[in-house]
Amino acid sequence: MSQDTLLDLSRWQWALTAAMHITFPAVTVGTSVFLVVCYAMYMRTDDDVWLRMFRFWRRIFGIGFALGVVSGIVLTFEFGLNWGRFAHDVGPIIGVIIAMEVVSAFFLEAGFLGLLVYGEGRISKRMMMFSTCMVSLGTTLSVTWILVANSWMQTPAGYKRVHGQFQPVNWVHVIFNPSFGIRFVHMFIGVLIAASWFIAGISAWYFLKNRHLPIARRGISIALGVLAVVLPLQGYIGDNVAGYVQKYKPAEYQAMEGNWDSHNTGYNLLVIPNQGAAKNIWQVTVPWLGSAVNKDYSGHTPFPGLKRTPKNLRPMMIPTFYGFHVMWFAYVLMLSFAIVGLILRLTGRLYNTRSFHKLLVGVVPIGIIAIWGGWVVAETGRQPWIVYGKLLTAQAVSPLKPAAVLTSLIAFMLIYLTLLGTYVWYVARVVRQGPEEGPVTEPAIEPVRGPVPSFVPSPEGGAA
Amino acid sequence: MRLSDAWMIFVFLAFAMYIVLDGYDLGIGVLTLFERDDRRRREMHELVAWVWDGNESWLVLVALTLWAGVPLVTGVALPALYLVLIPMLWSLIARGVSLELIEQHSGWPRLWGALFGIGSLLAAFCQGAAFGGLIAGLPAHAGTFAGGPFTFLHHGYAVLTGFTAVALYVVAGCAWLYMKTDGDLQVRAARIGIAAVVALGAGTAASWLLATSAGPVVLHPGAGSRLGVWIVGAVVLAAGVSLALGSFAAKVRAEWLPAIATLVIYAGGLLLAGGLLYPTLVPPHVTVHTASSPHSSLLFLIIGVGIFIPIILIYQTYGYIVFRGKVGGTREATSA
């Protein structure tokens, strides 16, 4: 009993802290690419609108990055704190991969962020451009290594077991494990999408308020342009990810489509499963569509059901099914909105359709929600395994007192709730303050003993 | 030299870099609690704001060099130190967030300012307590921790090392302020520095005596033969403490001298700790060699991390060069 409680509490703590962490990179990775675009355009055109955009988005990027750093440190320690047995067993592989993430990506981001945020007036434009690129490269490399590590847990390869410990035999097979490539592309496009809705929504708000229109036009145009290209691409990639799940993790595939028996040729939109009795209490199914999803348009190919997996090795259907469907329904919505945006653009109405601007403001977090959903499928669909098919989560947990984990879980809940509230409040405040009014120029470079400049448009009424 | 011993160089480097770099910025955070003047607190904040995340990266690297290279250490020590490392994480969160939010205000916002100070203090204390809990020994069995949630306290020994770490970081913070500020802030840094150095000397001496004579540390069988290392460490440490004390007391013209003295103190402390423990990592049972990752992991690590560390040092140094000189310009003056 106590062992189950400990496992559940430890898993909830991981789920909470990981979901909070992913929220920030979901926005900052794409925003860093956007900052590169803004500064590159500024250097090319010398148009100060780009510089003001750069400075404005840099502030929003900065706080997201800081929160990403502190919430990331928490995860680094939790690998050992809550999952000590896992730390011991996979350290020679996962520890090494994340160590590579730290030295190649994390340091790079943090090292150049100081220059990016505080460097104006001390470094040249070229150096500023370089720093921005390095921060962006760092965030991208970070996604890469994290996806290597997590994909290895989904499809372990290139190792041998020695006294229970996973030891690398072939690093190429470890890194380029069967699911890494497709899952990396999927996640990278996912963060570009999330950041694009974020940028589009904030830009749209300025249209509604009739403020900072030059900046809002460029923001919305770039963001919706990116979305029009990458959303269809993500559909194709996502289909391939489902293909890997079907091939390598059949139990997850059975659970995420919401079937117990293997004769449903329809497609489940909503289910209320009873895990113990291995059946759905209630379900909404579209006939024929399930077979079509499996590329059989005659309507005779059913989905495989979860009863094919032994009872003690079945993932929970509720989080697996709904994680997947939240992502999938969000995708359908996002694709529709992007198409509407494209039509408005082609008919020259993108900048003056207020209802569409209102919609964009309303869907700011939609990309983040889709990413949360995707990770819920990946993590709960892999259960009861922590390393798929090889190491059970129940064997990986640290032997702590459940009361200790409960205490830390409650505290993390309160802290992260405050953190999320603060983040939203902060971004809203920066958005209300808005970018600086033009025209602006960069300060002259004063390399030694220059004060560290700050580009916050003097808050609290200017007098400071 | 075995590959696992070679990897210890990286662990040591990450650990030393972390305490040297984040030590001073945690110390400055603690010092904001003793400062009443808003302008001076802003200057202190400014010294930390651009650099804290880069410095904390080294803490992540400490955790990862251990996990990747000697996974048994992570598997045993982290669960054992749960109740002290979790509050450290909370403190680092509070501190990082308040640093960014102070940036958004003029003056010194009360709540965020207090969180920055208290977060820094608690993080420093927890790190010292974790280190004390570790060197005093954590029982391991079958690849994981085999004690209770409060085993790490060792009858309060961890509290002593916690306070010693706070004193150490405050000394480092004072030395950094002494070098990077001028006027009354510099004078105050020297004055607080004297008290902090005295506390540090006393704390270190007490920690050392308790660790070696009365227990609780179970010394490695070979540790006694390292008397030479202990003596050198003690002499270096004493020299650093004296130098810091003297240069703060005399308010030396060479403003970098207290910072040098701090480095000497760190060097002495690391020699003592290394001489006490090595090759044990988690007393009494876990050593470098029993905890080590296999050859294939260590080789990959040494090559991979070995390539990146010099690059990291280059751009971090570049950052320090860009932001060299004193702080203290009025921030608003350049606001466009």
Tens-digit pLDDT profile for residues A90-122: 999 999 999 999 999 999 998 898 889 888 888
- Tell whether B111 is within 8 A of chain A (Cβ): no
In a domain, B323, yes or no: no
Out of A93, A167, A436, closest to residue B336 by CB? A436
Instruction: Give me the CATH number covering residue B196.
Output: 1.20.1630
**Chain B partners within 8 Å of A146 (Cβ):** none
Out of A66, A165, A456, closest to residue B97 by CB? A66
Please report, rounded to a whole number, the percentage of residues in chain A having pLDDT higher than 90: 61
CB pairs under 8 A between A and B: 267
From residue B216, how far is each of A34, B45, B108, B272 by CA, in Å? 55, 39, 44, 16
* Phi/psi of residue B291, nearest 5 degrees: -95, -10
Q: Nearest chain B Cα to A433, which residue?
A: B104
Around Cβ A352, how many Cβ atoms within 10 Å? 10
From residue A341, how far is each of A334, A357, A371, A446, B91 by CA, in Å? 10, 10, 22, 45, 44
Out of B54, B64, B326, closest to residue A99 by CB? B64
Average pLDDT (A386-414) is 92
DSSP A204-226: HHHHHHT-SHHHHHHHHHHHHHH
3-state secondary structure of B134: helix
Residue B24 clears pLDDT 60, i.e. is over it: yes
With CA atoms as reference, report the closest residue to A135 among A36, A25, A54, A53: A36
Residue whose structure tokens are 């580009």: A455
Q: Look up the domain containing B224 and give its range.
A: 9-294
**Chain A partners within 8 Å of B60 (Cβ):** 72-73, 76, 102, 106
Cβ–Cβ below 8 Å for B308 and A80: no
Mean residue pLDDT across chain A: 89
The answer to whether B217 and B148 are in contact (CB under 8 A) is: no
> Hey, what amino acid is at A383?
Q
Q: How many angstroms away from the CA of A149 is the closest CA of chain B? A: 13
Out of A76, A171, A449, closest to residue B300 by CB? A171
C-alpha–C-alpha distance, residues B141 and B47, integer Å: 45
In a domain, B259, yes or no: yes
Strands B286-287 vs B280-282: parallel, antiparallel or unpaired: antiparallel
In a domain, B104, yes or no: yes
Residue whose structure tokens are 């199914």: A285
Residue A462 pLDDT grade (very low, low, confident, very high; cuts 50, 70, 90)? very low
Residue whose structure tokens are 């103190």: B265
Cβ–Cβ below 8 Å for A399 and B144: yes
Average pLDDT (A443-448) is 64
* Phi/psi of residue A161, nearest 5 degrees: -100, 130
Q: What is the torsional sign of CA B52, A372, A2, A315?
A: negative
Q: How many angstroms away from the CA of B37 is the closest CA of chain A? A: 14
Residue B305 clears pLDDT 80, i.e. is over it: yes
In tens, the pLDDT along B107-161 reads 888 888 999 999 999 999 999 999 999 888 888 887 788 888 888 888 888 999 9
User: What confidence score (pLDDT) does residue B330 get?
Assistant: 38
**Chain B partners within 8 Å of A115 (Cβ):** 319, 322
Cβ–Cβ below 8 Å for B144 and A85: yes
Around Cβ A316, how many Cβ atoms within 10 Å? 14
In tens, the pLDDT along A190-241 reads 999 999 999 999 999 999 998 888 899 999 999 999 999 999 999 999 989 9
Please report, rounded to a whole number, the percentage of residues in chain B having pLDDT higher than 70: 93
Count of H-run helices and E-run strands, chain A: 16, 6
In a domain, B119, yes or no: yes
C-alpha–C-alpha distance, residues A258 and A181, integer Å: 27
- Tell whether B153 is within 8 A of chain A (Cβ): no
Q: How many angstroms away from the CA of B8 is the closest CA of chain A? A: 14
In a domain, B336, yes or no: no
User: What confidence score (pLDDT) does residue B218 get?
Assistant: 58
3-state secondary structure of A397: coil
3-state secondary structure of A270: strand
**Chain A partners within 8 Å of B324 (Cβ):** 448
* Phi/psi of residue A454, nearest 5 degrees: -130, 135
In a domain, B49, yes or no: yes
With CA atoms as reference, report the closest residue to B97 among B121, B85, B84, B114: B114
- The total number of structural domains in chain B stands at 1
In a domain, B283, yes or no: yes
The answer to whether B179 and B43 are in contact (CB under 8 A) is: no
User: What confidence score (pLDDT) does residue A122 get?
Assistant: 86
Q: How many angstroms away from the CA of A37 is the closest CA of chain B? A: 22
Average pLDDT (A4-29) is 91
3-state secondary structure of A63: helix
In a domain, B327, yes or no: no
The answer to whether A35 and A54 are in contact (CB under 8 A) is: yes
Cβ–Cβ below 8 Å for A118 and B50: yes
CA B117 to chain centroid, in Å, comes to: 16
User: What confidence score (pLDDT) does residue A307 get?
Assistant: 86
Residue A363 clears pLDDT 70, i.e. is over it: yes
Mean residue pLDDT across chain B: 87
- Helix ranges (DSSP H) in B110-156: 110-135
**Chain A partners within 8 Å of B119 (Cβ):** none
The answer to whether A159 and A168 are in contact (CB under 8 A) is: yes
Cβ–Cβ below 8 Å for B294 and A92: yes
- Tell whether B327 is within 8 A of chain A (Cβ): yes
Residue B27 clears pLDDT 80, i.e. is over it: yes
14-73 in chain B: CB under 8 A from chain A: 46, 49-51, 53-54, 56-57, 59-61, 63-65, 67-72
With CA atoms as reference, report the closest residue to B248 among B239, B240, B257: B257
With CA atoms as reference, report the closest residue to A219 among A434, A388, A398, A366: A434
**Chain A partners within 8 Å of B300 (Cβ):** 96, 168, 171
Tokens (6 digits) for A119: 């460097």
